[in-house]
Copies of this chain bind each other. A is one copy, B any other.
Amino acid sequence: MADDFPPLARSDRESVVARDDKLELRVWLRLLTCANLIERQVRAGLRETFDITLPRFDLLAQLDRAPDGLTMSAISDRLMVSNGNITGLVDRLVAESLITRAPSRQDRRRARVKLTPAGKRAFDAMTPAHEAWIDAMFAGLARQEMAQLLDLLGRLKRSVQEEVPTDRRAKGDPS
């Protein structure tokens, strides 16, 4: 799969930006470029070092932080992908005994998913490398710059959430 991706090039998502473009559009495309670049490196690192896909790693990471397990809808919220995409992922990790799914009698979506001890060990073996890759990619920023970036992204996150049309807002997750 590594060869399937283009090498890092001088052109990227930002190539669409003209000098006279609005600041909002320029920030958005640079943000997207950074996210794409970092995600691509993490994806490649996980594949090359641990032979695991990014969605699997992301799911294990969410479950590692939830000792009581998570419902399918909570996983879907946290990974920000559809329930349909989660179902197959969970099925495969259950088949490999990395996670368990305790069904709910009332509602399939309320089945609780948890890490098994084997899943926990597999995840713990990957976290130091994952953290080292992220650290290395941020090495060009001073701590103060990272803190500033965290703050500005927090403002942006709130701004985006306030702008969401009412019918797409959270209706309260029962999980």
Contact = CB atoms under 8 A, between A and B. Distances in A.
A160 interface: yes
Contacts of A170: 7-10
A17 to B, nearest CB: 8
- Please provide the 8 A-B residue pairs with the shortest distance between their CB atoms, ordered closest to farther: A140-B159, A35-B35, A9-B77, A24-B138, A4-B82, A9-B170, A30-B153, A149-B152
A7 to B, nearest CB: 5
Interface stretch (A39-47, A90-98, A114-122): A39-47
A32 B79 CA distance: 10
Interface of A: 4-13, 15-16, 18, 22-28, 30-41, 44, 58, 61-62, 64-65, 73-74, 76-84, 131, 134-141, 143, 145-150, 152-164, 168-171, 173
Nearest to A21: B131
Total copies of this chain within the assembly: 2
Contacts of A82: 4-6
A7 B160 contact: no
A164 B56 CA distance: 23
Contacts of A154: 30
